[in-house]
Structure formats: C-alpha cells, structure tokens
Amino acid sequence: MNFSTIDLIIFATYCILILGVGLFVSRDKKGHQKNAEDYFLASKALPWWAIGASLIAANISAEQFIGMSGAGFASGLAIASYEWMAAITLLIVGKYFLPIFMEKRIYTIPEFVEKRFSMQLKTILAVFWIALFVFVNLTSVLYLGALAIESIIGIPMVYGIIGLALFAAAYSLYGGLSAVAWTDVIQVFFLVLGGIFTTYLALNTLSDGEGWIAGFGQVLEAAPDRFHMILDKSNPEYSNLPGIWVLIGGLWVANLYYWGFNQYIIQRTLAAKSLREAQRGIVMAAFLKLLIPFIVVLPGIVAFIMVNDPEIMARLGDGALNNLPSQGASDKAYPWLLQMLPTGMKGIAFAALTAAIVSSLASMLNSTSTIFTMDIYQTYINKNASDKETVNMGRLSAAVALVIACVMAPLLGGIDQAFQFIQEYTGIVSPGILSVFILGLFWKKTTNRAAILGAVASIPIAIAFKFVPDMPFMNQMGLTALITMGITMVLSYVEGKGQDDEKGIPLTGDLFKTGAVFNVSAFAVLIICAVLYALFW
C-alpha cells in the first residue's frame, strides 16, 4: 500500500501526540517520588471516562482488527458474540466482582488470591499469568501487529515487531499505568474513528459510490448466510462457534475469566477514584463493545463479498489482486481492505490499527510488571523494597518481558484465524482459574487445598476433552469449568466438614448495590443486545 505525504503526516502526528501525552503525564511532580500506587495504579485517580476508554484500548488489538476480521471473512457475524456477550459480562463484573476487589484494596489479582486462599496459590497463579502474558498475549499482539504492518506497507516482520515494541516501551515503561491510561483515551479516539472510516469506505466501495446504506443492503443481499449469530452443525465454523452453546456454554467461561480476572483488564478499574467511578467506566466500555463488531467484523464480511465477486474485482483493478485474502489466509482481509482507502484515510486507518496494537502492548507490559513486582519481587526477593526500587523493578521487568516476546513473536507465523487459535489454547487453563475464583468469591466453604487441587485437575481434564471427537472447544471449556467446580466443592466439603472456610468472604446485600446511572445504562445495554440477537439470529 502506497502512503501519500498526507497519510504520512497524519500517522506521524498520531505518533508524536501519543508519545508527547505519555511522557507529559509520566513526569514526576515536583518534590514527589513515584511510589507503587502512582506507577501501578495511576495514583488511584482515574475518572470513569478514562477507565472506559482504557478498558477498550487494552482489549482491542490486532487480535480484533486482524483476527476478528479474518473470522468475519471465514464465517461471518457469528464471531461478534465475543463482543456482544462481553458487554453483558462487563455488567456482571461491575456489579458482582468489582465491589469485592475494591473492598480488599488490592493491586493485583494474585494478591486477592493470597487474601482469600494462600500465598502458595497466589505464587502459582502469579507465575502462570506472567508466562501467559509474555508467551501468549504479548507475543501474539506483536506477531499480528507486525503481520498487519507487513501486509499494508511492506515493512519486514522483524522490523515491525521491533518498531511496535519500542513505540509501546517509549512511554509505558517510564510512566506506568498513568501514561497507559491517559494515552488510551487518545488511542480509542483513533481506533474508533479509523474503524468507522474503514467500514464506511468499504461499504461505499462495494456499492460503487452509492453510500454505506446501499453497501450494507448489498452485503445483506449477497451473503445472508454470513449474518447468522447461531450457526448450525453444517457450517464449517461450527467447531469454533457451536450454535446455541455459544450463548449458554463455554463462551461465558472465556468472557468471565478475561474481564473479571485478567490483570491487564481489571487493573484499570482498581485505579479508579471510587467504586461508582469504576462501575460507570465499565458501563461505558460495555456500550463501546456493542459497536466493535461493526468496525472489525463487518469489514471482513465485505472483503469476502468483494473477493468472490468477479465484477467487483474487475472494477477494483489489478491493484486489488495484491495480498488477496482467502479461506486459507483469512487474516489478510483487513490489511487487504486498507489498500482500497483513498489518500488521507489510509493514514487515519493505519493510525487506528497501530493505536489498537500499541495500547494493548502497553497495557500488557504494565500488568506483567505489576504482577512480577508486587507478587514475586516484593514477596520473595526484596520484602523491604523502597518506592524507588519497586518502580525501577517494574520498569526492568516490563523491559525483559518485551524482549522475550519480541524473540518469540516470529514463531507464530503460518497460523490462520489467529484469534480463534489464541482463544482455544487459552481455554485450556481458563476454566480451572475461573472455577477457583467464582467459588472463592461466592462460596465460603471453598478451602485452599481444594482450590489448588481443582485448578491442577482442570488441566488434564481440559486436555482429555481435546481427544473427544467433534467436540467444539467452547463446549470443552464449559464442561471443564463445571467438572472443576464439582471437584473443588466436593473436596472443600470433605476437608472442611461442611463448615465455612476461615478466609471465606462475608457477602451482604449492601456490597452489591449500584447507582442509578449504572442500573439504567446496564438495562439499555441488555435491551440493545437482545435486539441485535433478534435481528441476526
């Protein structure tokens, strides 16, 4: 894709703005040395709109722009369940999980594990999450981001990986969560604006300049089978999105685990001024999640129609034959569409894609360093670390994690539908962890030993389900979670002789009371979700 001078100016302006804002908010206030709360929790001063923007910026990355567009190309709108059900999940997290976390005044999710269960389980999970962030999350975002850059402007993957890593590190390593959260507000603006422009122009191109409404009508007419949220067993993508079981099965495991117990997501809410402010930020994020499929999945469907219509391809010219997506290379769909954009729009769209990648990288780096510093370094290496030592260790651990991810990222080459690949293999561990947390939060009889044994048992259970013929991985996750909960409950009851565990969390009705803004907004989100599923059943 050829960038004009205007495109380069737009993209350069975006880069300068992000770095400038990141470094500005990172500066030390006169006479004040950054402490752990400043660096890891943004001084607990984030307003609701910064939290909502940061939640989306941390979540939306190359996995969505590239991976979900690829899934849209391969299977259609059904992949949007990840986004629309996430909106409902956010409401559950805001009402039932977050009040407990904030009452405990924790920095990290493993810290909550220590308070509810034990130091031993905390350490196990801290090591697991660090490994997951470095070898799966950071690595996949760098790989998919570099793949997109290589497809769009031809920069070799290795250089793309290094460039993205350096850009994210330039402000996040020094400034911590403050730099990440405040730049995320800008990142989300570019992300949404660029995504909307790309979708609009793709639909307008499809309709040969007759507008996005005509283009959308043409999409519905040309590929009605791509607008079913509930796939039947004859669909080749049923194994990834198993019909009605998407709504009542394992996707709840993936969503609750990701939004409720994922450090680089929940850390933003822990940095809020107050619980009410955090809950309002979560509602804002829920509304934005309803929009995301229209700017990341719909373009993939448009690309599918274009590629399979000889008349449209002839109209687009020979340039459209470059990097053509296909069923075997569906992750090329979004980069392929970007080359169709006019001058000026390419710069905005590329800035949106870069914003999605860099914001997620920065979030993951900060959370990796938070867990390592607070749960490993301060616990086992330097229990009396000063504020300066703690912050410096946070920066150093983030830098080391980034270097490892850069080395590992090229090894992911050759994976089609990377979004589905990541979901499936994260699903081996997420059911066990979710089971431990759900029972730890809401069942006071859960014991530490039972939680550890249940979590450990969940891994061979999940792997065993991989050998069951034709069982979709979402169903595997759902069944693994239920079996793990059953094992944990039986062991807890036997060990504790039916008595409440001494570390069980006392729950009261007042703890889960929410304000009018949250309640009304949550009702609106639920109604919109119901309408969307009714329209695209």
Residue range 467-523, pLDDT digits in tens: 888 888 888 889 999 999 999 999 999 998 889 889 999 888 888 999 999 999 999
- Asked if pLDDT for residue 459 goes beyond 60, the answer is yes
3-state secondary structure 247-313: HHCCHHHHHHHHHHHCHHHHHHHHCECCHHHHHHHHHHHHHHHHHHHHHHCHHHHHHHHHHCCHHHH
Computed over every residue of the chain, the mean pLDDT equals 86
CB–CB of 242/231 below 8 Å?
Answer: yes
Question: What average pLDDT does this structure show over 258-270?
Answer: 87
Residue 113: what residue type?
A: V
Q: Tell me, what DSSP letter sits at residue 107?
A: S
Coil, helix or strand at residue 537: coil
- The per-residue pLDDT for 194 is 81
CB-based burial, 27-65: b 16+ in 10 Å, e otherwise: eeeeeeebebbbbbbbbeebebebbbbbbbbbbbbbbbb
pLDDT value at 128 more than 70: yes
> In 3D, which of 224, 228, 232 has the Cα closest to residue 305?
224
Look up tokens 């609701």; give the residue: 48
pTM for the structure as a whole? 0.89
- Average pLDDT (15-20) is 86
The β-bridge partners of 46 are: 272
Give the Cα separation of 459 and 456 in Å (integer).
6
* DSSP result, 471-502: --HHHHHHHHHHHHHHHHHHHHHHHHTTPPPT
* Gap between the Cα atoms of 141 and 471, Å rounded: 28
Cα–Cα dist 430/324, whole Å: 35
Q: At residue 37, does pLDDT exceed 80?
A: no
Query: pLDDT tens for residues 293-319?
Result: 998 899 989 988 988 888 888 887 777
At residue 485, the pLDDT reads 95
pLDDT over threshold 90, residue 409:
no
What value does the mean pLDDT take over residues 108-126? 89
Contacts of 72 (CB under 8 A, 6+ apart): 79, 226, 296, 297, 298, 299, 300, 301, 304, 333
Helix (H, G, I), strand (E, B) or coil at 475: helix
| CA–CA separation, 221 and 31 (whole Å) | 65
**pLDDT of amino acid 471:** 87
The residue type found at 293 is P
Q: What is the DSSP annotation of 316-340?
A: H-GGGGTT---TTSGGGHHHHHHTT
3-state secondary structure of 351: helix
Q: Once rounded to an integer, what is the mean pLDDT over residues 105-111?
A: 86
The answer to which of 83-97, 98-112, 142-156, 416-430 has the lowest mean pLDDT is 416-430
pLDDT of residue 404: 94
**Confidence check: pLDDT of 419 > 60:** no
∠ CA(350), CA(355), CA(358), 5° rounding? Answer: 120
Question: Among the listed ranges 20-34, 196-210, 332-346, 467-481, which one has the minimum average pLDDT value?
Answer: 20-34
Mean pLDDT confidence for 448-472: 90
Give me Rg for the CA atoms of the chain: 23
For range 21-31, the mean pLDDT:
74
